[in-house]
Amino acid sequence: MKSLFITSIENFSGKTAVTLGLGRRMQIEGRTVGYVKPISYAATVYEGHALDEDVTFVRNVLGLQEPPEQLSTLVVTPETLDDCLSEEGCDFTDQIMQAVQQAGEGKDLLLIEGGGSLRQGYVLGLSTGYLADLVDSQVLVVIKSRGQLRLLDDALTAQYRLDERLLGIVINRVEDNEMDFVMQRARPYLEARGVPVLGVLPERPNLAALSVAEIIETLDAKVLTGEEHTGRLAEELVIGAMGAREALHRFRQYRNKAVITGGDRTDLQLAALETSTAALVLTGNLTPNASVLERAAAQDVPVLLVPTSTMDTIERIEDLHGKTRLGQAEKLAHFESLMAENVDFKRLNSLLGFE
């Protein structure tokens, strides 16, 4: 069994999406694929088990048979931290090794999803470098493009932290105006310094978009109109807290957006409906004017009512926005196509020892 440990420099870099894309590609090429996430820092309780939603999603898409709780080895809780801070300390080595061996049994390739950051895991005695050594795995690092200097520093930091364990990097979410720099300058620079750049994925706003249904679930919103259109994607979140004229100018700059504004701001709501709007999110539990509901219904725009203030609503939704969530079939297919076009799978297979 071969294994590949996949991690990232910072949260919301697209690590889970890349993991899933790699798994699907390997399956298409005829290989059996396993998956495990040794450490989960965010989980929800489902049927008595603390489960990581990313683990459940990857398991379902890859068609794995193992129960999800077996693939999410260690769920970090406040009690976990207490154990690690005690005089006895904590040791999860055997637990993780057993899970990795079970997940990889009979598989051609085991994908091991690491934490969202190379900083994570140290207090648990489970840094990325330690885990990679423990399971004898090479590491692929997903780096989100966040400016020229930061991109290069992030890549070199990954090399410094992982040394010979670093298989290579995938640079994700590169804006169009940065693509020439990444391809013509950053990539050759990093390759010359021993950092294989195995893929460069362009930014695609629809992949980071939230479905209206996800917004409803996150905010526990009441749907006033357009319930049949909640599968629509919101590519941008725009806050409406200005004058109507200024708002109209701003709203026209964004397509397929969700507008968050007070339920009493009829002027802003009508302005939003004059532009490309995926949903109206109305705060303060204030029912909008009938004219707003009528126009929204005529335009098939869902109107959502939430009890929280505008600022509280934004805080609740901002962690969700920016994650690459591929729950919609068209988004998953788009990302697979994006990886097929922009990742050097032949080189990746060679580095993994498949060719």
Based on DSSP, count helices (H) and strands (E) in the chain, helices before strands: 16, 16
**DSSP H or E stretch at residue 262:** strand 257-262
Q: What is the pLDDT of residues 92-150, one digit of tens each?
A: 999 999 999 999 999 999 999 998 889 899 999 999 999 999 999 999 999 999 899 99
Report which residue type is found at 171.
I
Which tokens in the block code for residue 197?
């750049």
CB 199 within 8 Å of CB 313: no
List, by residue range, all CATH 3.40.50.300 domains of the chain: 2-204+324-352
CB 193 within 8 Å of CB 156: yes
Q: Which residues contact 319 (CB under 8 A, 6 or more apart)?
A: none
List, by residue range, all CATH 3.40.1390.20 domains of the chain: 210-318
Q: CA-CA distance, 252 to 303, in Å (whole number)?
A: 19
Using CA of residue 149, residue 155, residue 161, residue 164, what is the dihedral sign? negative
The CATH class that applies to domain 2-204+324-352 reads alpha beta
Q: CA-CA distance, 318 to 352, in Å (whole number)?
A: 37
Q: CA-CA distance, 135 to 142, in Å (whole number)?
A: 20
Q: What is the pLDDT of residues 241-280, one digit of tens each?
A: 777 778 888 899 888 899 999 999 999 999 999 999 999 9
Task: Name the average pLDDT for the chain.
Answer: 90
Task: Give the phi and the psi of residue 120 in degrees, each rounded to 5.
Answer: -80, 155
What superfamily in CATH does domain 210-318 come from? HprK N-terminal domain-like (3.40.1390.20)
Q: How many residues does the chain have?
A: 355
Which tokens in the block code for residue 211?
């479905």
Residue where the block lists tokens 């049949």:
228
CB 72 within 8 Å of CB 51: yes
pLDDT, tens digit only, all 355 positions of the chain: 899 999 999 887 889 899 999 999 999 999 999 999 999 887 665 566 667 778 888 999 999 999 888 898 888 888 889 999 998 889 999 999 999 999 999 999 999 999 888 989 999 999 999 999 999 999 999 999 989 999 999 999 999 999 999 999 999 999 999 999 999 999 999 999 999 999 999 998 777 778 898 899 889 999 999 999 998 888 888 888 777 778 888 899 888 899 999 999 999 999 999 999 999 999 999 999 999 999 999 999 999 999 998 888 887 876 665 554 566 666 788 889 999 999 999 999 999 999 7
Strand, coil or helix: what is 225? strand
Report which residue type is found at 34.
G
